[in-house]
Amino acid sequence: MIRNAARSTTPSAARVATTARLVRAGTLAGALGLSTGCYTTRPILGIPDAGTPVVAALNDRGRVAMADSLGQNVDRVEGTAVRREGDSTVILAVNRVRFISGNENRWNGEQLTFRVSSLRGFEERRLSRARTGALVGLSVGALVAFIVTRQLVSGGSGGDRDGGGTPQPPAGS
């Protein structure tokens, strides 16, 4: 019976595995948030310089012209400007295609040539330090709160059950 009491105060292997899975899922969710939610965009006048991370918004002419390469009903293309060819075309290394429906496709940097006349415009994509800091702070706080509440619910760390240290002589001897 004492064995069962001691066993019930320590976390089971299943509980430890569940906690580890939840921590991994939280870490993955935080990383996903950092990779997508911490960017801002600002309009660019003209054609972006090579190496600039951009979002290119297609107009109706661009959707028709690029349908064979990108698919039907594309709204925006995210990527990096590779180079411009005069004032009429730009080559982008495409990372993501967003459709009018809201769906997205990831790409692996395939290079496509866009006519400037087929675009509504460009926006520069930049990492927002303020948003990133806020997200990191919230994520760390949530992780700490999760760990603390799990330790409180499970009865603490388990600690040393045998009392440890040197035994004290009985009082009055």
* Contact present, 38 and 127 (Cβ < 8 Å): yes
pTM above 0.75, yes or no: no
Give the pLDDT of the chain (173 residues) as one tens digit per residue.
555 554 555 666 666 677 677 767 666 666 555 555 576 778 888 889 999 999 999 999 999 999 999 999 999 999 999 999 988 999 999 999 999 999 999 999 999 999 999 999 999 977 756 666 666 667 777 777 777 777 766 655 555 555 556 667 777 65
The domain defined by 40-127 carries CATH number 2.30.30: yes
Burial of 97 (0-12, 13-18, 19+ CB in 10 A): buried
Report the amino acid identity of residue 52: T
Q: Any idea where the domains of the chain sit in the sequence?
A: 18-38+128-152, 40-127
Write down the pLDDT at residue 140. 73
CA–CA distance, 67 with 65 (Å, rounded to integer) = 6
Nearest to 56 by CA among 36, 72, 70, 37: 70
- In 30-144, DSSP assigns E strands to 39-44, 53-58, 74-85, 89-99, 104-115, 119-127
Degrees, nearest 5: CA angle 132-137-138: 100
